[in-house]
Structure 1
Amino acid sequence: MELTIAGAGTRLGGRWVVDGVDATPPAGALTGLLGPNGAGKTTLLRLVAGLLAPEAGAVLVSDPAAADPAPTLPVHTMPRRVRARHVALLEQSSDAAVPLSVREVVALGRIPYRSLWGADPDAGAVDRALGAASAEHLADRAWSTLSGGERQRVHVARALAQEPSLLLLDEPTNHLDVSAQLALLGFVRDLGVTTVAALHDLNLAAAYCEHVLVLSGGRLAAAGPPADVLTPALVREVYGVDAHVLTHPMTGRPVIAYSPTGTVDV
């Protein structure tokens, strides 16, 4: 699915939290959405998911029902059931206890496909999603017994059960150990699905994302390949810290080494 963010903006509490963002994440690739706390990342994801209607500009996606070349339409105008079949948003996970098994939680992602009688036309979809997220061993566990990392993996499986053509992830590596973080982002990168993931770790973004968008104060500060965007000047301007950008000896991708003195004078 092709995604175009065209001057999108919205206010919360009378303040513009996303303000005139223009971006075109590459189709079929992983885009990292970066920026400090309060930069507007979660709000932008909710605009892209169609959960919020922009007060300015538009968020456009290619019409999933049209043949190529597909026209674009505002994502928030899509019928909810249609949108849920094509756009999946994994929000920051909640610790709320629910009396469900893991399989039942993942099956919630199949609601847009169920008939009026509750039948899912694809009986194997839940198992495929669990397997894709390496969570099949958790299928019969009670949701309430899972660790934070296990819950995050199940959330990913639920999103995959929707079989989305646009996948949106809000801090998907929260609660995961290093090995699980690397495995998850490697998996998402290789899906071939247009994906936008809000990330805090610049090095994870540099290692796994084809494209990055950097927000600062609700505005787009920079966009492009990580090697072009994640410069010492950008890190200093947006995050207020000094950094050196090195080259990974195996991948050739950028590695950000932060100054041990921390915050710089601005």
Structure 2
Amino acid sequence: MELTLDRLSARLGGRWVVDGIDATPPAGRLTGLLGPNGAGKTTLLRLVAGVLSPERGAVLVDDGTAVHDLPRRTRARRIALLEQESTSTAPLTVREVVALGRIPYRTLWGRDEDDGAVDRALASAQAAELADRAWSTLSGGERQRVHVARALAQEPDLLLLDEPTNHLDVSAQLSLLAFVRDLGTTTVAALHDLNLAAAFCEHVLVLSQGRLAAAGHPREVLRPPLLREVYGVEADVLEHPRTGRPVIAFHEPARGVSA
């Protein structure tokens, strides 16, 4: 899916939390959405998904159609949003949770024509062995994998992930981002770990106080001056000896200086 953010702006509580964002994440690639807490990452994802409506500007897809002009069912099929606080208290099995991603494909008779979509999503998210487990028995990391599977079950053209590596151990973080990178689906993922973004993203958008501070390949964007300006930290940017990707080495704050 082609995605363009055109002067996208939104206010919450009288404050501009997304302010004039112009960006074109590359189609079929993984874009990292970066920035400190409160920068506007979650709000931006919700605007792109059509969950929130912009006060100014638009989210455009493909031939310039505004996301908010798409029929709700079409939008639900084409765009999947994995939010940071995805919870369920219903007594469901993992398979039933993942099957919720197929709701947009159900017919008037309640039938989903693709019976294998849930199995494919579970396998892709490395959660197939959890299929018959009760949702309530899962650990935080297992739940995160199941939420990813539910998003994949939608078979979206645009995948939006809000902190998808939360609750995952290092191995699971690396596996998940490698998998998402290789999907070939246009994906925007809000990430806090800059080194994960540098390792797996082909493009990053860096937000600061609701505005776009920088955009481009991590090698071009994640440089010491930007890290100092946006995050208020000192760092050296090194080169990974195997991949050539940027590796960020943060400096310990000087004594008596608060972050």
TM-score of the alignment, normalized to the shorter chain, above 0.5: yes
User: Would the aligned equivalents of 1:242 and 1:262 in 2 still touch at CA under 8 Å?
Assistant: no
Q: How many residues align?
A: 258
User: Would the aligned equivalents of 1:52 and 1:76 in 2 still touch at CA under 8 Å?
Assistant: no
Residue 108 of structure 2 aligns with an amino acid whose one-letter code is: L
CA-atom RMSD in angstroms? 1.3
User: Would the aligned equivalents of 1:9 and 1:57 in 2 still touch at CA under 8 Å?
Assistant: yes
TM-score (norm 1): 0.95
User: Would the aligned equivalents of 2:165 and 2:173 in 1 still touch at CA under 8 Å?
Assistant: yes
Q: Deviations over 1:199-234 (max 9, x none)?
A: 000000000000000000000000000000000000
Alpha-carbon distance, 1:262 to partner: 6.5
Task: State how 1:34-113 maps to structure 2 within 5 Å.
Answer: 34-62=34-62, 71-113=63-105
Residue 21 of structure 1 aligns with an amino acid whose one-letter code is: I
3-state SS, counterpart of residue 260 of structure 1: coil
Which residue pairs with 1:195 in the alignment? 187
Q: Deviations over 1:121-176 (max 9, x none)?
A: 01111001101111000000000000000000000000000000000000000000
3-state SS, counterpart of residue 241 of structure 1: coil
Which residue pairs with 1:155 in the alignment? 147
User: Would the aligned equivalents of 2:49 and 2:80 in 1 still touch at CA under 8 Å?
Assistant: yes
Structure 1 residue 221 and structure 2 residue 213: aligned? Answer: yes
Distance 1:36 1:126 in 2: 35
User: Would the aligned equivalents of 1:93 and 1:152 in 2 still touch at CA under 8 Å?
Assistant: no
Which residue pairs with 1:3 in the alignment? 3
Alpha-carbon distance, 1:98 to partner: 2.1
Alpha-carbon distance, 1:265 to partner: 7.7
Q: Deviations over 1:100-139 (max 9, x none)?
A: 0000000000000001111110111100110111100000
Residue 215 of structure 1 aligns with an amino acid whose one-letter code is: L
Distance 2:241 2:74 in 1: 45
From 239, 245, 250, give the equivalent of 1:253. 245
Distance 2:114 2:145 in 1: 22
Distance 1:81 1:96 in 2: 22
Runs of 4+ in 1 over 4 A off after TM superposition: 262-266
3-state SS, counterpart of residue 75 of structure 2: helix
Which residue pairs with 1:128 in the alignment? 120
Q: Deviations over 1:70-94 (max 9, x none)?
A: x221101211111011000000134
Distance 1:57 1:72 in 2: 13
Which residue pairs with 1:234 in the alignment? 226
Q: Structure 2 regions of 5+ residues with no counterpart?
A: none
User: Would the aligned equivalents of 2:86 and 2:147 in 1 still touch at CA under 8 Å?
Assistant: no
Which residue pairs with 1:66 in the alignment? none
TM-score (norm 2): 0.97
Q: Percentage identity across aligned positions? A: 77
Compared with structure 1, are the counterparts of its residues 262 and 149 closer, same or farther at alpha carbon in structure 2 (3 Å cutoff)?
Answer: farther
Which residue pairs with 1:25 in the alignment? 25
Q: Structure 1 regions of 5+ residues with no counterpart?
A: 63-70
From 163, 172, 175, give the equivalent of 2:164. 172
Residue 165 of structure 1 aligns with an amino acid whose one-letter code is: D
Alpha-carbon distance, 1:95 to partner: 4.4
